[in-house]
Amino acid sequence: MTRWKFFKEGDIVDVVAPGYPSQPHEVDGSRDFLLKWNLVPRIPKGLIKPHFLHANEDEARFEFLKNAIQSKDSSVIWCMRGGYGSNRLVPMLAKLKKPKEPKLLIGISDITSLHTFLTQEWGWSTLHAPLLDRLGRGLVASKFEKELHGILFGQETDVEFKKLKPLNDQARNIKLLKSRVVGGNLAVLQTTLGTPWQIDAKKSLLFLEDTGERGYRVDKMLEHMRQAGVFKQCHGLILGDFIGGNEPGSDQSKLKQVFKRWSEDLDLPIFQGLEAGHDVIQRPVPLNTSCVLSQKNGKVLLNIDTGGKA
């Protein structure tokens, strides 16, 4: 893995909008948040313009992303929001020469497309963590904002998750597993299948999360992954938050049954309870860094290296 640089006060943060647009007050809130951390927000003029789907035309969104990647005076790229649009930029991104110095990409949801490309093609370590517009709107509890600050500024060298629960015997039988975490949003990862940038989960723990997807759709996406060979040589599945997705006219979801079926059907350890995704708690998940999963007396610990360096 390639390590990113810990933040220092006064560092420039390149802000990009590869997916949906943000409203002017959300842009202002994002700027104010970075200033609160004594960082220098670089939000380019014209970053967001009227478009029927995205924050801007494909070529413009890519140009802003390319400039952020190639800028010599910054080492972090923070996404304004998710939505839809990042995967349209990946073919253009693939034509770029890999920079000599790695940068840290931060974002969730639609940004999974960029995480997957950067970790697999360029070997970078990235961070599945809250988007700027969410932080700017004060939607991240102070406890978790403090955790994120500690990770980015180097006070924390790993992220520890204590609430994982094994869903099958394969998971319950694990005592110690050294691996790395890849993945992100399930629906976005499905869009990588059959492309040159298909998610590679070999010798890795595959982290999955999603929002608003009904049980049958989650089942269908997992089946697509199985048929595409994603689960071959995978170390296991780590399920984050799956919110929404209730059946029509009901307050009930079929996700519990879906995950039960897959825990019985797949010859892989499956764990549930990673506090990451689209729910209220969005803890940072370092991608493409070393991790250790251990289990003792029924308690599961997952420690993930942040990927940062001084």
Residue from 179, 209, 213, 235 carrying the catalytic annotation: 209
Which of helix, strand or coil describes residue 271?
strand
Which of helix, strand or coil describes residue 211?
strand
Query: Is 57 annotated as catalytic?
Result: no
Query: Is 109 annotated as catalytic?
Result: yes
Residue from 22, 75, 86, 109 carrying the catalytic annotation: 109
Q: Indicate the burial class of 200 (C-beta count within 10 angstroms; 0-12, 13-18, 19 or more).
A: middle
Query: Is 250 annotated as catalytic?
Result: no
What is the distance between the alpha carbons of residues 221 and 240, in angstroms, rounded to a whole number? 16
Q: How many CA atoms lie within 13 A of 232 on its CB side?
A: 3
Nearest to 152 by CA among 16, 310, 308, 13: 308
Residue 151, phi then psi, degrees to nearest 5: -65, -45
What is the distance between the alpha carbons of residues 202 and 221, in angstroms, rounded to a whole number? 18
* Rama region for 70: left / alpha / beta (φ>0; ψ in -120 to 50; rest): alpha
205 and 228 Cβ atoms separated by less than 8 Å: no
What amino acid positions are annotated as catalytic residues? Answer: 109, 209, 278
